[in-house]
Structure 1
Amino acid sequence: MTDQTSITVSRTIDAPTKDVFEVLTNPERHAELDGSGFVIGDEKSDRITGAGQVFRMNMTGDHMGGDYQTDNTVVGYDPNHLVAWQTAPADTEPPGWEWVWRLEAQGAEATDVSLTYDWAKVTDPAILEKVSFPLVDRAALEASLDHLASAVSGT
C-alpha cells in the first residue's frame, strides 16, 4: 500500500514468528537487514525490550553529508507481533517519521511480515524542505524484507 505519507511492503517469511522478532529486536543486526544502504551498524545498543527505549545507529548518506548517527525511540512493542521506532538525528527529538514492523504467525513455521515507513507526523517545514520524502523507496523496503528472510534462514 502506498499513499502520500507512507509505504508498506509485505511478504511471508518461512520462519517462526519468534525467530523473526528476535532478529528485528537486535539492533546489531539492523545493518544486515537494511535495504537502503544507510545503516552501517549499531552503537553498542541493547536488545529492544519495550516502548520508550532508545537505540543509536551509525549511518551514512549523501542526504546528511556523509556519516552520522540516529537515535531511535521505540514507540511500539508487542512481543512476536510488533516493533516500531521513530528515528531522529542523534541527541534530538524525533521529527515524526517512523518504521513499523508487524508480524502475524502463519502456523508454526511461517510469518507474514509487513514493514511500514511512515512520515505522516513530520510537520516541521524546515525538515520537509530539506528531506524529499520518501527518503527510502519501496524497492529498498522490499530489499529489507528479503534481507530479513535471509537473516532468519541463516543464509
Structure 2
Amino acid sequence: MQNDVMTAKTTVDAPADAVFAVLADPASHAAIDGTGWVRESLDGAMLTAQGQIFRVAMYHDNLPDGHYEMANKVVAFDPPHVIAWEPGQDNGEEIEFGGWIWRYDLTPLDRSRTAVTLTYDWSAVPAYLREHIAFPPFGQDHLDNSLGHLAALAQLSRSGPPAP
C-alpha cells in the first residue's frame, strides 16, 4: 500500500485569524511556496467560499517555456480553521483537475499561537497522470519551507510593517 499523503506541522506565533488571512490571499501564495514555482495571483481576489476558482501564474524548468497557469478550486473553507484547494488546468472549455489537494488545518493554541498542519494529498491522481508526473513532485522540505514562509508572513501581518 502506497502512502499518497505528505504532511508537515508547525506552530505559528500569530492568531489563527491572521494565519488564515494570509492563506486566503492568493497574492501571498508565491511568498509561501517552498519550491518557487508559484509566481503571482492572476485574479487579485481574496478567497471567500468553497467552490471559488482562483488562478495563479506558475513556472517550472521542466516545461518548454517554463510558464503555465493553474486554476485552483477551493474545496474546503471554514475560517479560521480549514482552507484547501485542488489545482487544475483550464483547457479552454473546462477545468481539468489533477486529483491532488493542498490543505491547511489551523488549531488555535491560545490567543497568539496557532498549530498549522499542511497536507499535500495526491491519492486521487489518476494512473494516466502518474505516468507523466512523479508524485510527489518535491520532497518533504517543500512543505517544511512553505510552513516557515507562512509563519513569517503571518507574524509580520500581525505586527505590521517595521517602523521607519
Q: Choose 128-137 or 18-27, whichever is displaced more.
A: 128-137
Number of equivalences? 152
Could you say which residue in structure 2 is the equivalent of 1:90? 90
Please show how residues 32-47 of structure 1 align to structure 2 within 5 Å.
32-47=31-46
Q: Choose 91-100 or 103-112, whichever is displaced more.
A: 91-100
Q: Choose 98-107 or 36-45, whichever is displaced more.
A: 36-45
Give unmatched runs, 5+ long, in structure 2.
none
Distance between the aligned counterparts of 1:85 and 1:147, measured in 2?
19
Deviations 1:80-126 (A, max 9, x none): 00000000123432120010000000000000001001100111x32
Aligned partner letter, 2:108: A
Deviation of the 1:152 alpha carbon: 1.2
Which runs of at least 4 in structure 1 moved beyond 3 Å after TM superposition? none
Partner-residue secondary structure (3-state), 1:19: helix
On the 8 A contact 1:13/1:110 being kept in 2, the answer is yes
Could you say which residue in structure 1 is the equivalent of 2:57? 58
Superposition RMSD in Å: 1.3
Structure 2 length-normalised TM: 0.88
Identity of aligned residues (%): 36
Partner-residue secondary structure (3-state), 1:62: coil
Could you say which residue in structure 2 is the equivalent of 1:17? 16
On the 8 A contact 1:56/1:90 being kept in 2, the answer is no
On the 8 A contact 1:63/1:131 being kept in 2, the answer is no
Give unmatched runs, 5+ long, in structure 1.
none
Please show how residues 5-154 of structure 1 align to structure 2 within 5 Å.
5-65=4-64, 66-91=66-91, 92-123=95-126, 125-154=127-156
Deviations 1:61-88 (A, max 9, x none): 1344311000000000101000000001
